[in-house]
Amino acid sequence: MSTTEGKADAAAVEEMARSATAWCAMHGLVVGDRADPRSGTVPGVGLVHAPISLLPSRLPESFWSQACELAPLFNELVDRVSLDGDFLQDSLSKTRQVDDFTSRLLDIHRKMMDANKEENIRLGLHRSDYMLDSETNSLLQIELNTISVSFPGLCSIVTELHRTLINQYGNLLCLDAKRVPGNDASRQFAKALAKAWDEFNVDSAVVMMIVQPEERNMYDQYWLVKYLRESHGITTIRKTLSEVEAEGQVLLDGTLVVNGRKVAVVYFRAGYTPNDYPSEAEWSARLLMEQSSAVKCPSISYHLVGTKKIQQELAKPNVLERFLENKEEIAKLRQCFAGLWSLDDKEVVKSAIENPDLFVLKPQREGGGNNIYGLDVREALIRLKKEGGDALSAYILMQRIFPKASLASLVRGGFCHEALTVSELGIYGAYLRNKDKVIINDKCGYLMRTKVSSSDEGGVAAGFAVLDSLYLTDKVIGPVTCLILLGKSGKK
């Protein structure tokens, strides 16, 4: 395989892409094909390789270490904030006036507060997302996800794929596979779920995964099912919210029973968007599970800690000190905070209208495709100001982060194309506590997503990005793929 000066050998790149997609099919790096109507409901039908970057993206090792070090701090912060019910209710009080979804979540949370419901066993599987800002050369947090964090299964395999390609095409790439950090997210998530199951201590109980009626990302989820069964001997059942409402009950002692099976752990891979609650049945199911003694991942309070409004509140001066004591840890958390503002701040709103490209307008939504950028920020803010009242409370403003764009090769649906891209790093974290005893508090793998630089949104499942992995360097150079496709040598 040869390269011409300044240009890729198209045949070499094509061969590498074909090897990559074949490897994906052979190793379960797959998603449901949207072209097949049954691909989201029938396992094994209508599969296509997951969208991927052909080779990993570079990141300075210092920023990787910083992100990993932050994971346990955010885990602990989520738990501390979750215990302050009044803070959650008060911080979201205005949002609930204009956002029915947040209001319904708060209603369930308030019922648990009024009943003095305590979650002795608390399990969190989180992901904190970051971008490297080229303006300040600093790692800044995009958001903290506390419910249904996706791709722990598939991202683990992407790391293996990239290591395989580097070893297979070593004579062309001049790269070291050892520079791609290991990624054990799927096994670590399964281990945390299993530990929570152990703490619940009912041998006949199951882990119940809450899923959407149509889920083309089911294979990411099935990796956790596999490891729970093979490594821990635990059975997993998959249920939609409507199925839980139809088949579930809470016994007098608090035990959750669904279709005759006792449930030890409820693991949510749905329930984060209003679309998951098309009727009252789904809300009844959510309340039923919250009222039970089963371990919820997440509980309603953990879910609320992950809202955009709470993220913005925690970024205010002196708020972290309400929940944490260690000044050094507080400083580390605050260092990664991007600018976050309530729309009650008239000066910031004015600045955003005048300079909309410097801000992102975020609603209280998860799942990708919801944020507002560019000139749309100005239009939305002007409209919201005219509406008056509490309309502004449904959103927060965030400093726009400007990562450096670099050339990379993206593979989707069997086609490989070169594009200017930017990347987003997510660090998974697991936290398990039983009363005063912290059983797990650690990072557990990572998710790298790469997208074309012209795209504002970044969700893989939403169709905006591809799965990627990391190549650790001493300094910023850009994605590995850019070095290959331009026919340049890649220094280790």
**Is 457 marked as a binding-site residue?**
yes
378 is in an annotated binding site: no
| Structure-block tokens of residue 18 | 């074909």
Catalytic residue among 28, 85, 339, 367: 367
318 annotated as ligand-binding? no
150 catalytic residue (yes or no) = yes
Residue 433 annotated as binding site = no
Active site residue 143: yes
Is 238 marked active-site?
Answer: no
Q: Does residue 182 sit in helix, strand or coil? A: coil
Is residue 52 a known part of a binding site?
no
178 given a catalytic annotation: no
List C-alpha distances in Å: 315 to 260, 319, 426.
45, 7, 19
> Would you give the distance in Å from CA 269 to the centre of its chain?
11
Residue 389 assigned as binding residue: no
Check if 117 is active-site.
no
> Which residue is catalytic, options 58, 94, 122, 127?
127
- Catalytic entry in 76, 143, 199, 243: 143
Helical ranges in 205-322 per DSSP H: 218-232, 241-247, 280-291, 300-305, 308-314
Q: Is 44 annotated as a binding residue?
A: no
Annotated catalytic residue within 163, 308, 378, 433: 308
Tell whether residue 131 is among the known ligand binding residues.
no
CA distance 112 to 119: 10
**Annotated catalytic residue within 39, 145, 342, 406:** 145
Q: Which one is catalytic: 75, 366, 406, 443?
A: 366
Q: Which two tokens stand for residue 334?
A: 């605050």
116 is catalytic: no
- Do the annotations mark residue 386 as ligand-binding? no
3-class SS of residue 67: helix
d(CA 361, CA 122): 32
Among residues 195, 362, 433, 443, the one annotated as catalytic is: 362
The one-letter amino acid at 384: L
- Residue 46, marked binder: no
221 is in an annotated binding site: yes
Is 145 known to sit in a ligand binding site? yes
| SS3 (DSSP) at 343 | coil
Is 356 marked within a binding site?
no
Torsion of CA 337, 320, 196, 262, to 10 degrees: -100
Q: Is residue 6 marked as binding? A: no
Contacts (Cβ under 8 Å, ≥6 apart) of 254: 291, 292, 293
Instruction: Reply yes or no on whether 28 is catalytic.
Output: no
Residue entry with tokens 């409820």: 266
| C-alpha distances in Å from residue 451, one per residue of 316, 454, 463, 480, 484 | 31, 8, 10, 15, 18
Give yes or no: 378 in active site: no
362 is in an annotated binding site: yes
Catalytic residue of the set 449, 458, 469, 490: 449
Query: Is 171 tagged catalytic?
Result: no
Give the residue carrying structure tokens 């139809």.
Answer: 246
Q: Does the annotation flag 399 for ligand binding?
A: yes
Which is catalytic among the residues 57, 128, 150, 183?
150
Active site residues: 127, 143, 145, 150, 308, 362, 366-367, 449
Residue list, annotated binding site for Mg(2+): 143, 145, 366
Residue list, annotated binding site for ATP: 143, 308, 362-371, 373, 398-401, 424, 451, 457
Residue list, annotated binding site: 127, 143, 145, 147-150, 215-217, 221, 269-272, 308, 362-371, 373, 398-401, 424, 449, 451, 457, 460-461
Residue list, annotated binding site for substrate: 127, 147-150, 215-217, 221, 269-272, 449, 460-461
